[in-house]
Structure 1
Amino acid sequence: MDGKPRLLDQVREQIRLKHYSIRTEHVYCEWIKRYIRFHDYRHPVEMGGPEVEAFLSDLAVRRDVSAYTQNQALAALLFLYKQVFKHDLPWLGEVIRAKKPARLPVVLSQQEVQQVLAHLSGEVGLVARLLYGAGMRLMEGLRLRVKDVDRPASDRLSRWSKAKGSHCGFAYRPGTKAQITAS
């Protein structure tokens, strides 16, 4: 070896320098590996616009992926070329895009949410109340630790990016206290 870091190590280094989440790191590395396999293990530095377009179009046409999935793959490849290789990508006009479904999201009323929460108990109920009450994302709620609850304020979460400083006035209700004590 010539001492130069391997491609995925370079990708991981750039992702960590930009403080992206560990999930983003894993997903981007997986998409880059799929891109390389799709082109018979050619190194991405040897490829360019036509190869990226072929890969993304194949995802939409042959593999019939969702628009979200194709955009995720695109983001990974954009990161690879812009951040790791320092190449600009002005050539993405010919990519066949996956179609986004035209649908409205389902939004529950407060009464409906209360009915759902009333049927949940234990850890599942606690996580659901945290997600709803503090506006947390799913993985934030699942990774929440006891020490992340700001005890002196008794109703604040102390370390979450989207919910940073979020109030969750139920944090020390009896059920929550019992759950924390049990852990």
Structure 2
Amino acid sequence: MPDDAPTSSPARDDGHDEHAESDDPRRSETSAASSVAEVLRLLRSHGGRVTRSRRVLLEVLFGAAEHMNAEEIGAEVARVEPAVNMSTVYRNLEELQQLGVVVHTHLGHGPATYRLASAAHPHLYCESCGSTFHLPRDIFMDLSDIALRTHGFRVDATHFAIPGRCAACTKA
């Protein structure tokens, strides 16, 4: 089957709590999509086609416990749908980002990683050992509020990790 062939099989509805709607009212409604079925409905409502590759890619994203780069996502998709190539993975990730369903983050010097927008959060990155640390979503809320109030600027504190040195590397 071609990697962008439409399918009509029922979508898996995972509904993981981890991907529940953000309590940040500034997030778009599309980032609140909490199941594969909801995202597929969103895609359809924006003129997109529901394809087997999109369905599998969404299942991978909803099932991911951690951030994944595009190559890792592609490898997981290929386990289920071997005909899917990386250009399809990148194209689908881009479309999902434009819809506000997926965000990418730069964690250090490696490739961008992807995560559902509803699970996005800031990070710290140790420049010495490469460790990353997850921060609470609201940790930069004051900064975000001030930037919005004084400059009309919306901060995306999840796009880049904040570099520094972890406790273990600082001791060494």
TM-score (normalizing by structure 1): 0.29
Give the structure with higher Rg (CA).
Answer: 1
Q: TM-score, normalised by structure 2?
A: 0.31
In proportion to residue count, which structure has more helix?
1
Whose strand fraction is larger, Structure 1's or Structure 2's? 2
Which of the pair has the greater relative contact order for Cα pairs under 8 Å at 6+ separation?
A: 2
